[in-house]
Amino acid sequence: MVYPDRRPHTGLLEFKNVYRPARVVKYDQESGMLTLHNYMDFVDLTEYAALTYQVSCDGEVIDNGFIPYPDGFTLPPHSENALPLAVHIPDKGKCFLKIFYHCDKDLSLRSEGHLLGFDEILLENEDSRNQKTLAMWSDAPSNSTITVQETDRHLTLCGKNFTYNFNKLTGLFAAMQYEDAVLLDKEMEFNIWRAPTDNDRKLKLDWLAARY
């Protein structure tokens, strides 16, 4: 959870979200009902967390707001309940709904508004393809060609305004250029090595041979 020098590791953010107080069970787009499960042991969700939502389409936020609890709504520990959430979903684009859980009051270790975690749901529509990507491809010249050059160790693809060079052994980029800009300072490398344990002392040689 921390680096060797005790700096917080990004894994702490993943750990935090695993322990969010509630989770989305389902979202019914037709009825606009959001079903939640309270994973806390002793506290009703309405007494601990405030909810907000965010709708994004093709990477841009198009709607967001506060989710009020209906009158009489409760969500006791380890139970499920549904509440209304009607959102506008465009007919085209890859759209997601995010539900955020926040502290609704100041506590000894957390202040009001502190983010406790989130859930993300893929929304359905008529055309769920990313429209920005489609537009980019439609703007490409129909007569553009790609040439391929291959050696024992490298595969090079050359287009109208780019050159990609792959290392055939690793499958990674050896060089990348777009227009006049060189995008890589050096060949890409795997970054999945971890410190071997005693049980890894023989397997370690295989890892090194695989260029880990």
* Domain-located, residue 129: no
89 and 166 co-located in one domain: no
Report the distance separating Cα 132 and Cα 155, nearest Å. Answer: 29
User: Per residue of the chain (212 residues), what is the pLDDT tens digit?
Assistant: 888 899 988 889 899 999 999 999 999 999 999 999 999 999 999 999 999 999 999 999 999 999 999 999 999 999 999 999 999 999 999 999 999 999 999 998 889 999 999 999 999 999 999 999 888 877 766 667 889 999 999 999 998 889 999 999 889 999 999 988 999 999 998 888 888 898 888 888 988 887 77
Report the distance separating Cα 136 and Cα 67, nearest Å. Answer: 36
189 and 96 co-located in one domain: no
* Domain-located, residue 134: no
19 and 106 co-located in one domain: yes
Please, how many CA atoms are within 13 Å of residue 128, restricted to the half-sphere of its CB?
6
Amino acid identity for residue 195 in this structure: A
pTM score: 0.71
Of the candidates 20, 77, 78, which has an alpha carbon nearest to the alpha carbon of residue 51? 20
114 and 162 co-located in one domain: no
100 and 35 co-located in one domain: yes
Partner residues linked to 178 by β-bridges: 162, 181
79 and 157 co-located in one domain: no
The Cβ of residue 36 has, within 10 Å, a number of other Cβ atoms equal to 25
Report the distance separating Cα 39 and Cα 58, nearest Å. Answer: 31
* Residue-number span of the structural domain to which 15 is assigned: 11-122
Domain count, the chain: 2
